[in-house]
Amino acid sequence: MKRLPIRKSGNTFFADNVLMLTTLLFFAAAFVSVAGCQESDMSNDKQTRLIAAENMRLKKDLEQRTDELAEQKRLYQSCLEEKEALLAENQTYLQGKEEIEKQAYEKSEGLMRLLTDHMQQQRNKLQAENETLKSRIESLEKELKQLSR
């Protein structure tokens, strides 16, 4: 690089300083520009790490919610199965109860028939005995009348 000729006014210190100041300002501007980019890059790295950490937390939370949902589905299915078992048991109970009631009705109906038949037989027997006694009373009364004459 060639140096520009500077007038020799005896003040070369100022010209050298301007050149040095210009160079220094150029490097300072470049440094500030690079430092700003690095700060921006550092800020982006920090932001990226924060986003990555938040994503990890959200994924973990999502996994936990998914596990909880699976557990709730399992419990719901278990409740449905238990409900079905109870309904089947209840149906069996009701069928058994109906069968017992039917048998009890049939037995009581049979017993009532037996009882009414027995009572009818007793009635017939008593009527026959009553008729026998009436005729005997009549015959005894006739005998008594004949004896009292």
* Residue 59, CB-side half-sphere exposure with 13 Å CA sphere: 6
Stretch (H or E) spanning 122: helix 12-148
For the stretch 23-48, pLDDT in tens is: 777 777 777 666 655 555 667 888 99
Start-to-end C-alpha separation, the chain: 190
Segment 52-78 shows an average pLDDT of 95
CA atoms of 95 and 60, how far apart (whole Å) = 52
Dihedral angle over CA of 44, 49, 50, 55, nearest 10: 120
Percent of the chain with pLDDT over 70: 78
pTM of the entire predicted model = 0.42
Residue 77 dihedral angles phi and psi, to the nearest 5°: -65, -40
CA atoms of 33 and 65, how far apart (whole Å) = 47
In this predicted structure, the answer to whether residue 54 has a pLDDT above a threshold of 70 is yes
For the stretch 95-117, pLDDT in tens is: 999 999 999 999 999 889 999 99
- Residue 17: its pLDDT value, please? 66
| pLDDT averaged over every residue in the chain | 84
Output helix, strand, coil percentages for the chain, rounded to the nearest 5.
Answer: 90, 0, 10
